[in-house]
Amino acid sequence: MDGEIPSRMIWEDDQCVSLLDVRPLTPGHALVVPRREIDQWTDLGSEEAAHLMRVAQIVGAAQKEIFSAARVGLMIAGFEVPHAHVHVFPVNAMSDFNFAQANTNPDQDELDAHLAMLKAKLRDDGHAEAAAG
């Protein structure tokens, strides 16, 4: 996670980043990814795993408020890429957990708007880790 691939970065700290998913299940769908390259989440150290969950909880709280979701979904699948990551996304029904329904061609302006809303909310909540820009 060194910026090689263009992304819409929500959160950055020394242990992880959070960015919008390029194939969102729901508007605001984000990933929380450890900076350390590790394939499976079960190989994360306990402190590192706890940190990812803490960031997922913070990002999820912002998503819930911004997108007026009934809940925030959390999923670790691990088949998409060989790098551990946590999916965090606003949900209103169990059907929102279906990767077959991912938006494969999201509106780029809409993604930019979601990014701006999430970063602003995180900053308003006092999280300096909200990505710059």
- Which band of pLDDT confidence, cut at 50, 70 and 90, is reported for residue 7? confident
Residues 6+ away with beta carbon under 8 Å from 10: 18, 19, 20, 30, 59, 115, 118, 119, 122, 130, 131
pLDDT score for 80? 81
- Which band of pLDDT confidence, cut at 50, 70 and 90, is reported for residue 1? very low
Asked if residue 2 has pLDDT above 60, the reply is no
- Which band of pLDDT confidence, cut at 50, 70 and 90, is reported for residue 85? very high
How many residues are there in the chain? 133
Asked if residue 3 has pLDDT above 80, the reply is no
Asked if residue 114 has pLDDT above 60, the reply is yes
pLDDT score for 46? 97
Domain segments of the chain as ranges: 9-124
pLDDT score for 81? 87
Residues 6+ away with beta carbon under 8 Å from 124: none
- Which band of pLDDT confidence, cut at 50, 70 and 90, is reported for residue 73? very high
Classified by CATH at the fold level, domain 9-124 comes out as HIT family, subunit A (3.30.428)
Evaluate whether 27 touches 67 at the Cβ level (below 8 Å).
yes
Coil vs helix vs strand at 18: strand
The gap between the terminal CA atoms of the chain, to the nearest Å, is: 17
Average pLDDT, the chain: 93
Coil vs helix vs strand at 52: helix
Summarize pLDDT for 12-69 with one digit per residue, the tens: 999 999 999 999 999 999 999 999 999 999 999 999 999 999 999 999 999 999 999 9
